[in-house]
Amino acid sequence: MRAEVTRYFAPQAWVDGAWTQDVLLAVTADGHWASIEPNAVEEAQRGAVRLNGPVLPGLVNAHSHAFQRAIAGLTERSEGSSDDFWSWRDRMYSAALRITPNQLEAVAALLYAELLRAGYTQVCEFHYLHNNTDGHPYADPLAMSLALVRAAQRMGMGLTLLPTLYMRSGFAATGLREDQRRFSSTPASLLHLAEAVRVQGGSHINTGLAIHSLRAVDEAALHEVAAAAKARGMAIHIHIAEQMQEVQDCVAAHGARPIEWLLSHAAVDAHWNLVHATQSTPVELQAVQQSGAAIVICPSTEANLGDGVFDLPAYTAAGGHWSIGSDSHVTRSWQEELRLLEYSQRLSLCRRNIAAHMPASSSTAGNLFNAALAGGHAATSLPLGGIAPGQRADFVVVDTASPALLGIPADHLLDAMVFSSPDARFSEVFVAGKKVVSGGQPDQWPRLASDFVSAMQALWG
């Protein structure tokens, strides 16, 4: 074995979509899996670092608005008779209009520590806070973007930054509202941000491009950004069909539903990630699958905002690919996201174990986890497909002393992790073969918490 390869031994690891016993794991110096050896004999284990629990691959959090961590828990009161996504959005803007680069870095650093602790090892930042609080560009146009980069680098979190195009307030509008002044961007400014961050970001930082929504851009700008992303091999993300009003407004403006219009007017392919798609029809979902695009499902935010329930049975029956995101960060746990995704289906359909009928296995949790894991590459354009040679060596060590896992048979471990709460813990988290969480907590936690509290007091005190 060459000196630049680090060897680990796991008593149990999630390989090829199932639990495998006595696994010898080898990681290259650049942080990718060199080899995976199941059922390793005792002699082969000698010299390997012994991991103290079962090993799962890290997951991609495919949709994040980091600044919204600053409003988690602060939008749960209502003074009117009606409260929906649009009234929530107005309250969210109060944070968007105030937060500074230093405050954003403090909020994002604590968020990324939480995400790492929960087993996410890469996050896709759908980033549209570009300008100063007065709506004018910063002296350094990268000020807000680099705040997110610094936060990720401090924590050792993988980051896919998605500078986001936002040009108008609605389908019939010609520009932005005053309370959207920080979002203003053009295809050219977006490409500048993406290229500059790619050059300056360093290891485990890459970029893609995002279009906020069909209502926020015109057709020419959409095509320009999509062509630029494809030419550079970048992932491209877009919010779509999240709420009923959005669908109705799109039909009024274009004579077609959002997904229907996008698929007929853009060259949608495997680079595309459609975020939410909550208000979609089975025919549209089948067409998404046929295009090669993936969907990013954000169960906790879609529930929190009253968006509706994603049609998982129709999409999986069509063979669709998907990933998960925590979006507004009302929860920072993939276990809770997958649990809520499945439970929302059960509540809607009055049946159990909906995801168990997806191809692959009879395990509901196993099918959900495998699907979310497989979606990581589409969301990031990075080799983040799990524990396999050539993939980035992102993994977590499960703490089997977690109350939810006590006495659970080994082959039911993932089922208990998703469907027995409170969430099972991870004792160690590795990104590209480097340990970033030890003992279940990032080393910097006291400082992170202090900086976060200071930022919150400045924002809301």
- The domain spans of the chain are 6-57+391-445, 59-380
6-57+391-445, CATH topology level: Urease, subunit C; domain 1 (2.30.40)
The sign one gets for the Cα dihedral 99, 100, 101, 104 is negative
Average pLDDT, the chain: 95
The active-site residue, picked from 327, 394, 423, 451, is 327
How many Cα atoms are found within 13 Å in the side-chain-facing hemisphere of 61? 34
Residue 336 in contact with residue 344, Cβ under 8 Å?
A: no
Residue 128 has pLDDT above 60, yes or no: yes
Asked if the model's pLDDT at residue 224 lies above 60, the reply is: yes
Give me the pLDDT at residue 344, please: 97
User: d(Cα 369, Cα 418) in Å, to the nearest integer?
Assistant: 9
Q: What are the distances in angstroms from CA 49 to CA 153, 311, 388?
A: 25, 43, 18
**What local confidence, expressed as pLDDT, does residue 3 receive?**
55
Count of helices and strands (H, E) across the chain? 16, 17
**Band of pLDDT at residue 81, cut at 50, 70 and 90:** low
- pLDDT (0 to 100) of residue 153: 97
How far is the C-alpha of 11 from the C-alpha of 413, rounded, in Å? 13
pLDDT at position 246 is 96
d(CA 162, CA 27): 28
- The pLDDT assigned to 82 comes to 77
Q: Mean per-residue pLDDT for 138-163?
A: 97
**pLDDT exceeds cutoff 80 at 14:** yes
The CATH classification number of 59-380 equals 3.20.20.140
C-beta neighbour count of 406 within 10 angstroms: 10
Per-residue pLDDT band at 205 (split at 50, 70, 90): very high
Tokens representing 283 are 């025919």
Average pLDDT of span 374-393:
97
Residue 155 CA to residue 141 CA, distance in Å, equals 24
pTM of the model: 0.97
Using CA atoms, how far apart are residues 377 and 385, in angstroms rounded to an integer?
6
Residue 78, pLDDT above cutoff 90:
no
Q: What is the mean pLDDT of residues 130-135?
A: 96
Residue 1: band (very low, low, confident or very high) from pLDDT cuts 50, 70, 90: very low
Contact 131, 206 (CB under 8 A): no
Composition of the chain by helix, strand, coil, percent to 5: 40, 20, 40
What φ, ψ does residue 236 adopt, rounded to 5°?
Answer: -130, 135
Tell me, what's the pLDDT at 234?
98
pLDDT of residue 100: 98
Give the orientation angle of helix 334-349 with respect to helix 364-374, to 10 degrees.
Answer: 120
Q: What is the pLDDT of residues 20-43, one digit of tens each?
A: 999 999 999 999 999 999 999 988
Q: CA distances (Å), 203 to each of 30, 152, 381, in order?
A: 10, 11, 15
pLDDT digits (tens, 9 = 90+) for 155-202: 999 999 999 999 999 999 999 999 999 999 999 999 999 999 999 988
Is there a catalytic annotation at residue 192?
no
The residue-averaged pLDDT of 126-143 equals 97
Say which of 32, 212, 276, 329 is annotated catalytic: 276
pLDDT one-digit tens code per residue, 297-353 = 999 999 999 999 999 999 999 999 999 999 999 999 999 999 999 999 999 999 999
pLDDT tens-place string over residues 386-413: 999 999 999 999 999 999 999 999 999 9
Residues 413-457 pLDDT 10s: 999 999 999 999 999 999 999 999 998 888 899 999 999 999 999
Radius of gyration of the chain (CA): 21
| Dist. CA 194–CA 205, nearest whole Å | 11
**Kind and range of the H or E run holding 14:** strand 6-15
239 assigned to active site: no
Q: How far apart are CA 20 and CA 10, in angstroms?
A: 9
Q: Is the pLDDT of residue 106 over 90?
A: yes
